[in-house]
Structure 1
Amino acid sequence: MKPFSLFLLLISGAVVDFQPVREKESLLYPYGLDQHDQKTPKLDDGTSGKISLTTPFTFYGKEHQSLYVREPGLISCDTRVSQYTPDPFPLADGSPFVTPFWADVNNVMGGDVFYRQTTDPALLARVTEDINRYFPEVPYAATWAFVATWDNVAYYGSESNKGNTFQAALTTNTETSFIILNYWDIQWTTGVASDGDAETGLGGTPAHAGFNSGDETNFYNIPGSQTEAIINITKTSNVNVPGRWVFQVNDLELIGAPTEAPKVANSNNCWL
């Protein structure tokens, strides 16, 4: 805030909140049409076409050559996942997927879903720096990344102007794979078809965040999934950065997965 504006607020008797403000650019990787992203269609429960990967991505011990980005907060490997109301993991249908926020998104009512795969040196350098900070014991230099961003997306049946902004970044060096989940703004948890409230976007079956391997055995639920607590995911973390969750995902055992429920961040008090 400029000093003169701050002075006016103070003399007017307004209360000024001096709490630290997260910088959107520091949490989310760049996205949008200026980054040469593609968008999913403006269609309820829409999906991207099949995305053939220029570099295979290993997830839960299996190498994948293609992805689909689904409007309901899903990135699925090799096959589409059509469901919009989340089910508890593990799922028995054999679908491997990543879900930063599985809920009944409807971009017809607001928002966009962007995605791209990239070898842009600037982005790879930033991803590498982040991974090296969170996993200093793992030698890693990113050679490929896939970034999907749900930008200010609405929920099905919405009678509000609420929007969620979150992102999933997949990255590999062809041997080691990581997934970074970023949560900038979460204002709703549930669409009307999942028994949510049309005015609040809350209630019913809330969103799910985590990973499903497709083998009916290996999976991970980010704490708070399918409960009202998922709305606080912008304040929780497993790498001490509120709103960010990071996992090594190339083996059957996820590295970076906490075994206890996260604490809601209070200033700098964040789950480690």
Structure 2
Amino acid sequence: TFFFSLLAAQALFYPFGSAAGDTINAAVDDGSSPVIQLLSPFLFFGRTYWQIYVNNNGHLTFNQPSSAYVPYSFPTRGSQDIIAGLWTDLDNRLRGVVSYHQYTSGNVLTRATQDINTHFPNLNFNASWVFVATWNKIAYFNLTNTETSFQVVLISGHNLSFILMNYGDIAVTEHPVQAGYDTVDSTDYFVIPESINGSFISNRRNSSNVDVPGRWVFRVDGEPRNSILKSKSLIYR
């Protein structure tokens, strides 16, 4: 079972780690990347961003880094845009690597183009930029023997923007958790079903809104009616 789940995660995940040329976050509890200047703008529900932060606790922010280890409950109706792959109390000092990479050419763009056209077949989409953030085998705080792996992929091209969330093995936890996204004043938000309960969070590897176990995909450029492909979580047993 472990072998097959490993193969499934490898097939699902975009390239990551030192072999992919990733930049690696410092192993700091509740830490973040430095500000990352984007090579292409990312449109997120009407706001255009040229920078991003990859936070060790499993979420992305745009205007400032976040050390918050207790996730906000979406909708927060707050003052910032947040993309939460799996926002919880993670600790990369104990185990695992947080890393990121952005692409403007090559095989990753080809793959992103194919994925988006598969999931949104009527758009005739062509990716021009991809940002991949990966949390690989990260431990939960004070739980050294746990491993949790997931990935958030931002994809853009021709004023269209998408998020792919890829989930590998996710350890259960008693820490508060949150997966999905939220916007300024929560004008647009989504919570992946069962993602606020750490006892069920391991189901992320088997759930999807695009019939691909372990993957959730959203269009986020400002067309909320198209941002979620299916209203129900699909669980594969």
Cα 1:141–1:259 shift into 2, 3 Å = closer
1:144 is matched with: 129
Give the CA deviation at 1:256. 4.3
Tell me the amino acid that sits aligned with residue 157 of structure 1.
N
1:240 is matched with: 211
2:150 is matched with: 166
Cα root mean square deviation, aligned: 1.8
2:187 is matched with: 217
Residue-by-residue CA offset, 1:167-215 (whole Å, 9 max, x unaligned):
0000101410011000011013xxxxxxxxxxxxx2252x110001122
2:202 is matched with: 231
Tell me the amino acid that sits aligned with residue 208 of structure 2.
S
Identity of aligned residues (%): 34
- Secondary structure of the structure 1 residue equivalent to 2:60: strand
2:13 is matched with: 28
Q: What CA distance in whole angstroms lies between the structure 2 residues aligned with 1:77 and 1:172?
A: 16
Tell me which of 76, 85, 94 is aligned to 1:100: 85
1:153 is matched with: 138
Cα 1:129–1:91 shift into 2, 3 Å = same
| More strand by percentage | 2
- Secondary structure of the structure 2 residue equivalent to 1:58: strand
2:174 is matched with: 203
Q: What CA distance in whole angstroms lies between the structure 2 residues aligned with 1:154 and 1:148?
A: 17
Residue-by-residue CA offset, 1:61-106 (whole Å, 9 max, x unaligned):
1111100000010111122223111121122431101111001110
TM-score (ref. length: structure 1): 0.81
Q: What CA distance in whole angstroms lies between the structure 2 residues aligned with 1:161 and 1:67?
A: 30
1:181 partnered with 2:152: no
Give the CA deviation at 1:230. 2.3
Q: What CA distance in whole angstroms lies between the structure 1 residues aligned with 2:48 and 2:61?
A: 13
Unaligned runs of 5+ in 2: none
Please tell me whether the aligned partners of residues 164 and 216 of structure 2 are also in contact (alpha carbons under 8 angstroms): yes
Tell me the amino acid that sits aligned with residue 11 of structure 2.
S
1:77 partnered with 2:62: yes
Q: What CA distance in whole angstroms lies between the structure 1 residues aligned with 2:230 and 2:106?
A: 35
- Secondary structure of the structure 1 residue equivalent to 2:235: coil
Tell me the amino acid that sits aligned with residue 265 of structure 1.
Y
Q: Alignment length, in residue pairs? A: 234
Cα 1:129–1:259 shift into 2, 3 Å = closer
Answer with 1 or 2: which has the greater Rg: 1
2:103 is matched with: 118
Tell me the amino acid that sits aligned with residue 99 of structure 1.
A
Please tell me whether the aligned partners of residues 59 and 85 of structure 2 are also in contact (alpha carbons under 8 angstroms): yes
Unaligned runs of 5+ in 1: 1-16, 189-201, 267-272
Greater alpha carbon shift after TM alignment, 171-180 vs 73-82 = 73-82
Cα 1:182–1:254 shift into 2, 3 Å = farther
